[in-house]
Amino acid sequence: MKYHLVSLGCQMNASDGERVRSVIEKMGYQWTDNEEEANLIGILACSVRQKAIDKVYSKIHKWNLWKNKRNLITFVSGCILPSDIEKFLKLFDIIFQMKDLPNLPELIQQYGISTPVGLSSGFDSQNENITEFWNVTPNYASKFEAFVPIQNGCDKFCSFCAVPYTRGREVSRPSNAIISEVIDLVEKGFRTITLLGQNVNSYGLDKNGDEINFPSLLRRIGELGNNLNKQFWVYFTSPHPRDMTDEVIEVIADYPCLAKQIHLPIQSGDNKVLIHMNRKHGIEKYRQIVNSIRRLIPEATLFTDIIVGFTGENEEQFENTRRAIEEFQYNMAYIAMYSPRPGALSHRWFDDVSLDVKKKRHHQLTEDLKTHSRNYNSRMIGKNFRVLVKDKARHEGYLAGLTEGKINVRFLSDNMSLIGNFADIKITSAADFSIEGDLVTINENVV
């Protein structure tokens, strides 16, 4: 028996998928890259983006046609709004929440009637028994990069976001379980570990003092890095500016294994838009955080998220976002054109910024970002940087990787044994979002 799994949306769904794969394979199913030969096909959906939901409908339409010719079981889980769940009930054989993943084998064995498995009970109960899900040992998709969930859900209720309604309220994973997973990964030779959560830096706040906070969690991982004779980089995503403290930045500065790259979503450079988004932070607060990063970790790269064309955004407010990109000099920004999502508060508001205007603003911000990224990358020329080699590059004869700051690098080499290891690269040229260099040395301590 063979299975195939499609993960849509953010890294949280990708991480959840690793645990889903583990449960399915314990049932005796074998992975296949080819959907057409699978006996069991699942999809981890994402109601946060309309494009992801559209892809779900496209996939299940095709899969249901296949049922006319062969036996096939389909399931859906992930980040799903109640309105989407009701529609999926008529299309999929099995629907379940991530907290109910340990029950998936029983659901597959008894399938025949689509069941929501408690999905209609509302977000207040969606994180019950989430610890049982976290206790599932994941089947990591990579042999050298891993996601480690530390928190699930969100209490921020940004007006544009559906996550509190798809994943529920914030619940922190026990720190001992997180540390155990990190130790296991490092001892197995993993090179990068990304701590995941909707708001990672609010970790522990839901436990009312019964659990350590996010800076303390980072410090414990940093001490592991000092004590273990292995090189690895630890990232986290995504923090919320409201909960970002100097203590977090100081801890990152103190420990070599804590990667000097910070993803800090701004969403807009205008205070009125941020209030409309219910972001609970202003530009001055954000500026203070960035200034602390530049002061305490001057070598750190800075990434962000931006939404263009949010309801009511005028030209002056958009220009304020352009000024923010100019001021904060981002290395990378993930820019999205606003689209209303059912369940989010802003879905009730008239989407009054035209698609043409959104596209124009998206293009302008991308051009601004290119300028700042290229300027930063040009300053890397002539210097040596440690790079995690990830794969073959698109250009024949080259390998590709990432610096600690997640800058894309390519270099001339056909040595496939470098993939999954660290190498030192001397940078020789720069482009908008990437750099190129020559192989200097392979880090013998970690290869």
Structure confidence by residue, pLDDT tens digits, 31-90:
999 999 999 999 998 877 777 888 899 999 999 999 888 889 999 998 887 788 888 888
What confidence tens digit (pLDDT) does each residue in 370-401 have?
999 999 999 999 999 999 999 999 989 999 99
Q: Is it the case that residue 445 has pLDDT exceeding 60? A: no
CATH class as words, domain 130-378: alpha beta
pLDDT at position 266, please? 97
Alpha-carbon gap, residue 445 to 447, rounded angstroms? 6
Domain ranges for the chain: 2-125, 130-378, 384-442
- The band of 239, judged by pLDDT with boundaries at 50, 70 and 90, is very high
CATH superfamily membership of 384-442: Nucleic acid-binding proteins (2.40.50.140)
Torsion from C-alpha of 157, 158, 164, 165, nearest 10 degrees: 100
Peptide bond into 292 cis (omega under 30): no
What sign for the dihedral angle of Cα 428, 433, 439, 444?
positive
Q: What is the CATH number of domain 2-125?
A: 3.40.50.12160
What sign for the dihedral angle of Cα 191, 300, 411, 368?
positive
Q: State the DSSP H helix or E strand holding residue 145, giving kind and residue range, or none if neither.
A: strand 145-149
